[in-house]
Amino acid sequence: MIRGVRGAATVDENNHDMLVDAAEQLLKEMISLNKIEAEDVCSIFISVTEDLDAAFPAKAIRKIEGWSYVPVICMKEIPVPGSLEKCVRIMMHVNTEVPQKDIQHVYQGKAVSLRPDLQKQQN
């Protein structure tokens, strides 16, 4: 069965290293919490808010050993007025038998405001 694992993080500024590092930290936590192996990943969608264009955050996945063949795509978020700024969002599609309610979604930095209801499950 394919499940979606979500994550989001924010950066302080539109900076290449900050953007790639934030995406890498987010991906690593999503992988660790959910015990995900690269071979079980169908694809990863990464979106950024319109104020981020200093780097492709997908570069982060290539920094993780064994993840070179995972299909990844970057895209822009819909610029909804008043929405969270400088935000990277990840949707990882994973083959797993883990029940949906047990998937650990990860929100870092100011992105915790996106889904405060899911923060309890990370404790």
Q: Residues 62, 65, 71, 74: what is their CA dihedral angle, to the nearest 10 degrees?
A: -30
- Given 39, 42, 85, 115, the catalytic residue: 115
- Given 62, 65, 87, 97, the catalytic residue: 62
Active-site annotation holds for 3:
no
- Given 37, 77, 85, 87, the catalytic residue: 77
Active-site annotation holds for 89:
yes
Active-site annotation holds for 69:
no
- Given 74, 85, 87, 97, the catalytic residue: 74
Active-site annotation holds for 13:
no
- Given 3, 6, 13, 97, the catalytic residue: 6
What residue spans of the chain are helical by DSSP H? Answer: 16-34, 59-62
Active-site annotation holds for 62:
yes
Q: In the chain, how many H helices and how many E strands?
A: 2, 5
d(CA 6, CA 42): 14
Residues noted as catalytic: 6, 62, 74, 77, 89, 107, 115
